[in-house]
Chain A
């Protein structure tokens, strides 16, 4: 058995309910840190950013699943749905903190969504996540059929780019860390281009 196969055996042993529960605990843990004064003296901003970064990181992992399998043989496919839904959950938490704790007013939030491009782009990413989250279950997969389901889920690429662009634009200056995430996302999306082009041609 190769090293990759040994890893795969181990990965498959992790039940997906454990991934869901552990993953969902992270925002709860962050919230506890923020409420108990362990996230600095301005916890609203800190929590908002921590959740946004967590969502971004999870999206990068989701994007990496296929290239990782192709290049190393290590397969996280059995947990990809859980990771995708967790990313959606993190984005929801990020949005909730922004709306309820930061802006504190739906009218003002809407005005920001319309007026400020970095918020518009982040919001577009969230809206595009909704159909993906709604179809991340076996029933939807059966109903749509694998071809249409896969076509809907290519939206992931658009969402990840929007998320990374949002992250870059939130900063006041060109910061290195968000640009690294954007580069990672673009590189991971680029690995799909030959296949997407082939499918478009077919």
Chain B
């Protein structure tokens, strides 16, 4: 029972493979031309053209592989992703280890072209393949008293060199309220551009919550626990004043490090303009989840 949400971006918005492989060279050339011509306007206009495969896979925050943006692309090849299973436990009827292959075989895989907005004020448009998280949770049967969902990334320092340094409290933990987790926009992504999920993007399976800052969309998940208490999430533990539990994209709530009212779409080159950030990253259909909540307080 999937397809409860319809894309406002469709397959026709996906760049054909040949074009996405070539686009960066074109941008590079265009940038050079505009430099020679003295014009500083290689900026892209606000269209929802998805980012190229290269952009999506070479500019990542995945601190398990290092804090640099290219560290994940450089080091993620060390990660072994087969066999892989996800333990679903806590307040569920049938807790257990679910093999990733079995999960994927049972799910209705669909395309979701989502905007991704990082708390660092950059963004991308990504054509994910995946299934609704609600369908995965249904396999284990959440009990009525489950109020939150906690997610955990793999802890394997020998394959994830970033975990050798205590820069964050490993393993990485994220969490959602149960209604957020069950929302049809929330997916477990298994691929990009019809390729299996690249390791630097969170293979084999990662969460995608498009109305929240990217750090909520936890990668390479090995455990999902349903609980009745709000999970203590990694970035919130590291700096509570900077990273709230909700972390909804909100142009009106400034972050101590980055103002959040504008963002830069990756791929626009050296002269790319900032664009306005949208409330809930443009996904207004989730606004009802937060009726009556002070979103400045619950940032």
- Identify which of A38, A44, A172, A173 gathers the most chain B CB atoms within 10 Å of its CB: A172
Chain B residues numbered 52-83 whose CB sits less than 8 Å from any CB in chain A: 52, 54-55, 58-59, 63, 67, 69-70
Q: Is the CB of B270 within 8 A of A101?
A: yes
Contact partner of A41 (CB less than 8 A), chosen from B257, B267, B273, is B267
Indicate whether B32 reaches chain A with its CB closer than 8 angstroms. Answer: yes
**Which among B20-28, B186-194, B204-212, B281-289 touches the partner chain?**
B20-28
Indicate whether A174 reaches chain B with its CB closer than 8 angstroms. Answer: yes
- CB neighbours of A35 from chain B (8 A): 28, 31-32, 35, 269-270
Indicate whether B299 reaches chain A with its CB closer than 8 angstroms. Answer: no
Indicate whether B264 reaches chain A with its CB closer than 8 angstroms. Answer: yes
Indicate whether A47 reaches chain B with its CB closer than 8 angstroms. Answer: yes
Distance in angstroms between the alpha carbons of A116 and B274 in the assembled complex? 20
- CB neighbours of B165 from chain A (8 A): 176
- CB neighbours of A43 from chain B (8 A): 269-270
Q: Is the CB of A112 within 8 A of B32?
A: no
> Using a Cβ–Cβ cut-off of 8 Å, how many residues does chain B contribute to the interface with A?
35
Distance in angstroms between the alpha carbons of A44 and B32 in the assembled complex? 15
Chain A residues numbered 28-53 whose CB sits less than 8 Å from any CB in chain B: 34-38, 40-47
Distance in angstroms between the alpha carbons of A173 and B172 in the assembled complex? 14
Q: Is the CB of B266 within 8 A of A41?
A: yes
Q: Is the CB of B270 within 8 A of A44?
A: yes
Distance in angstroms between the alpha carbons of A45 and B273 in the assembled complex? 13
Q: Is the CB of A116 within 8 A of B266?
A: no
Distance in angstroms between the alpha carbons of A38 and B28 in the assembled complex? 8
- Which residue on chain B has the smallest CB distance to residue A118? B257
Distance in angstroms between the alpha carbons of A151 and B55 in the assembled complex? 50
Q: Is the CB of B259 within 8 A of A108?
A: yes
Distance in angstroms between the alpha carbons of A56 and B122 in the assembled complex? 25
- CB neighbours of B270 from chain A (8 A): 34-35, 43-44, 47, 101
Closest 8 CB pairs of A and B: A37-B28, A173-B167, A41-B55, A35-B31, A43-B270, A41-B59, A35-B270, A34-B270
7 further A-B pairs in the complex, CB-CB below 8 A; given A43-B269, A44-B272, A173-B167:
A35-B28, A35-B35, A36-B28, A40-B58, A111-B259, A118-B257, A172-B67
Interface residues, chain A, with chain B CB atoms under 8 Å away: 34-38, 40-47, 101, 104, 108, 111-112, 116, 118, 171-176
